[in-house]
Structure 1
Amino acid sequence: MAGEKNGQAQDINQLLKVRREKLKELQDNGKDPFVITKYDVSHHSQEVKDNFETLEGQTVTLAGRVMSKRVMGKASFCHIQDLQGMIQSYVARDSIGEEEYKAFKKMDIGDIVGLKGEVFRTKTGEISIHAAEVTLLSKSLQILPEKFHGLTNTDIRYRQRYVDLIMNPEVKDTFIKRSQILKEIRKFLDGRGFMEVETPMLVSNAGGAAARPFETHYNALDEDVKLRISLELYLKRLIVGGLERVYEIGRVFRNEGVDTRHNPEFTLMELYQAYTDYEGMMELTESMFRYLAETVCGSAVLSYNDTIIDMSKPFERITMIDAVKKYS
């Protein structure tokens, strides 16, 4: 078993060495890919597919990462992955030129390229780009996880989110949805007269929650301070100061355990409203969740882990004691 692992490590080291040698060869020939800083992109992959009827026969430029490559003598196929997804390209020696085709054959999976060519549909019906130019924009010196098995190692997925984004397309959707949720929370609260604020992160007393804080030192004041564990105390002071509706979306820090569901720094949202009670806050919370489901997910009825969650219905109001009696 140890010998097998050593063999795999040697194979990987050899592959990494080959990639660095390819880079050196490019640099020696005045074709250093790392000096290209700009490439004009006209379309993304999904745009081309969605607008095929109007774009067929038109020249487009895309940029992305080479995710697969099939070389067949004078012509090859490759798949390019960009922000929106994946698209196939047909790369023929007669179309891009002999020297450029030789350069293309030396490209590796993971390399980032600029692609210019005509939009067409192959005999098998796949919307593709007939390449006129393939420009190496950045050389990938690391090796992507083997595609057949994918990236499943939880530790790598959480420590190297960029690799997870490359290999697991559904992860990108989570990032996009998170951004949309924050945008819509702001839109919803702003529509209700709330004002977004920023409050101090370095505090003398890390209150507002029960958690162990990170401690650091403020050199200018020669004073020990803590990173905030909550947003609460300063927001309440703003209410005292006469701002009637405030909210903050900000990082807080808790010097505690780490696992796939707990991080020592995370984003928290808190809001405070004067002249209302807990009934008013329940109504606001329910309305906001329903609004977010409808605007971000397209429907108030959601499916999560094979469970249907219907946010269009009125939320149940229940005391903690009654909830314990009902569900335990």
Structure 2
Amino acid sequence: MHLSEQEIIRREHLEELRKLGIDPYPAEAFAVNALAADIKAQFNDDAPEQFQTVALAGRMMVVREKGKVTFAELQDSSGRIQLYISRSDIADGENFDLYDVVLKRLLDFGDYIGVKGFVFRTRMGEITLHVKSLTLLSKSLRPLPMVKTRVIEATGETEVYDAFTDPEQRHRMRYVDLTVNPQFKAAFITRSRIISAMRRFFDDKGWLEVETPILQPIHGGAAARPFQTHHNTLDMPLYMRIANELYLKRLIAGGFDGVYEIGKMFRNEGMDRTHNPEFTAMEIYVAYKDYYWMMEMVEQCLEHIARAINDNNPLIKFDQHEINYAGPYRRLTMYDSIKEYTGADISEMDEAQLRDLCKQLHIEIDNSMGRGKLIDEIFGAKVEKNLIQPTYIIDYPVEMSPLAKKHRSKAGLVERFELFVNGKEIANAYSELNDPIDQRERLEDQLTLAARGDHEAMAMDEDFLRALEYGMPPTSGLGIGIDRLTMFMTNNHTIQEVLFFPQMRPEKGE
């Protein structure tokens, strides 16, 4: 190991503590009975007895020594609070080593400590814990980044410097990021609340949360490139799921009226500001419903979530926009949306004509793309970025949606919608295809595309077709990307800011 000077010093402190009989990593539990934020919010000068026997634990951050008194800041999961530590309070009788040696010299910035005492307000108005006992709970052997602030006298503004802001370091060392940049915790807390609100909404409707396989013998349910692995005992390839759609539909065929799953999906594709190879999605399937019903349900669900995380307000700010999650949302067909933003009516165009249009619009394509993929490329390049407020794009060409039911009144289309917010898709839904003969023909078309080199084409799943042959009721299904929804509901522009541990390249060696 190549240790810095500070790391060497901290290891020396570790050994000195042990020589003094102090375990730097004690096994005993420390009973915490309060949080810093709660104390600061609830302390009342007229009733100080409320916080006379307080036990807090967290990292020791800022330390300021004043003779026989030390002021420090303790940071727990809720925030920071000032500590007042007097030599006479924590010293053990005539032995002042605990203060003079341990506190002043052997404890370091970032060490975990437990403190007990009472709360008071200083003459400067700072709510403070007067420490009567102090216990080392865990020694930190690496120094945390020292984020500093100073007040600019001319303007009164606070300036931050030496901040831990490099995105790669922040995302790679999230444990450091969350410690020195606790403000970023808010997005992750909101993410948890989004998932909880969504789960409550579904549970209150009586739909069942289930679990389906992550390792699948056939990848299906979406147009995506899978990760592949090998099972030694069975001596067969397996795929990390790209979607859970086909398994959830099996459960509808098995007699459940409504099932949903919130879980990880894996797609062996590119990485950018809105894509991570491992992501969280929710998929739900409800029997005897169609995509018109699903559009209304999505509006109700997203409004419920927005109000749950935003003080009962469905308006959530993203950049300069205020996104209104209360329905109804605008509805626009796929063909009409392309016509609106390009002027081209593609409804009667064949593959060759679409290729010519892509060239005119300077959209890059390749020979593996069929009619559906070409339309998708045009839509992605010319339409998506304009859809800021929640907008349903509905009635997709059949070539784009091999798992969706044919439109009840429009030939060549399927009953499908995608919901777009801030120029990105966050939800995808169908009136599900339950005709096994039609489904087989669609999957055979996908095999033709795969033979042309389309790595995202779907595979043939004979067991799923068998389930449809036994019979599946009319059903509507929906998928929502949790990560992207969280981005937009927390005003974040990259998926890495709402994933605790985004996928990253290996660290460079020494």
What amino acid sits opposite 1:52 in the alignment?
A: F
Contact 1:184–1:292 at 8 Å: present in 2 too?
A: yes
Contact 2:296–2:328 at 8 Å: present in 1 too?
A: no
**Alignment deviations for residues 282-322 of structure 1 (CA, whole Å, 9 cap, x no partner):** 11111011000111221212112232122235322222333
Aligned partner of 2:189 among 148, 165, 176: 176
What amino acid sits opposite 1:84 in the alignment?
A: S
| Structure 2: unaligned runs, 5 residues or longer | 149-161, 342-382, 387-510
Deviation at 1:66, TM superposition (A): 1.2
Contact 2:299–2:326 at 8 Å: present in 1 too?
A: no
**Alignment deviations for residues 152-175 of structure 1 (CA, whole Å, 9 cap, x no partner):** 010011111111111112211112
Aligned partner of 1:310 among 310, 314, 324: 324
Contact 2:113–2:136 at 8 Å: present in 1 too?
A: yes
Match of 1:238 in 2: 251
Q: Percent identity?
A: 45
Match of 1:128 in 2: 128
Contact 2:117–2:130 at 8 Å: present in 1 too?
A: yes
Match of 2:176 in 1: 163
CA distance in 2, matches of 1:266, 1:310: 25
- Change in CA separation of 1:245 and 1:41 when aligned onto 2, cut-off 3 Å: same
**Alignment deviations for residues 38-91 of structure 1 (CA, whole Å, 9 cap, x no partner):** 100010001111220244561201000112111122111111111111111111
Match of 2:145 in 1: 145
CA distance in 2, matches of 1:301, 1:253: 32
Deviation at 1:258, TM superposition (A): 3.1
1:49 matches 2:40: yes
Which moved further from structure 2: 110-119 or 31-40? 31-40
In our comparison, the structure showing a higher alpha carbon Rg is: 2
- Change in CA separation of 1:207 and 1:234 when aligned onto 2, cut-off 3 Å: same
What amino acid sits opposite 1:129 in the alignment?
A: L
Contact 2:299–2:329 at 8 Å: present in 1 too?
A: yes
Match of 2:282 in 1: 269
Q: Residue 124 of structure 2: SS of its match in structure 1?
A: coil
1:66 matches 2:60: yes
Aligned partner of 2:167 among 149, 154, 168: 154
Aligned partner of 1:35 among 23, 26, 41: 26
CA distance in 2, matches of 1:266, 1:162: 20
Aligned partner of 2:98 among 97, 100, 103: 100
Q: Residue 172 of structure 1: SS of its match in structure 2?
A: helix
CA distance in 1, matches of 2:199, 2:325: 20
**Alignment deviations for residues 210-234 of structure 1 (CA, whole Å, 9 cap, x no partner):** 2221111112211111111111111
* Superposition pairs of residues 189-204 of structure 1, within 5 angstroms: 189-204=202-217
CA distance in 2, matches of 1:259, 1:144: 29
Contact 1:158–1:260 at 8 Å: present in 2 too?
A: no
Match of 1:288 in 2: 301
Aligned partner of 1:90 among 79, 84, 90: 84
Match of 1:253 in 2: 266
CA distance in 2, matches of 1:313, 1:270: 21
Higher relative contact order (CA 8 A, sep 6+): 2
What amino acid sits opposite 1:153 in the alignment?
A: D
CA distance in 2, matches of 1:300, 1:260: 25
CA distance in 2, matches of 1:213, 1:17: 46
Contact 2:164–2:170 at 8 Å: present in 1 too?
A: yes
CA distance in 2, matches of 1:266, 1:311: 23
Aligned partner of 1:26 among 17, 22, 29: 17
Number of residue pairs matched?
A: 318
Contact 1:49–1:127 at 8 Å: present in 2 too?
A: yes
Aligned partner of 1:219 among 226, 232, 247: 232
Contact 1:111–1:136 at 8 Å: present in 2 too?
A: yes
CA distance in 1, matches of 2:272, 2:74: 34
**Alignment deviations for residues 187-240 of structure 1 (CA, whole Å, 9 cap, x no partner):** 100111211110011111111112221111112211111111111111111111
Contact 1:48–1:55 at 8 Å: present in 2 too?
A: no
Deviation at 1:21, TM superposition (A): 0.5
- Change in CA separation of 1:178 and 1:105 when aligned onto 2, cut-off 3 Å: same
CA distance in 1, matches of 2:27, 2:66: 29
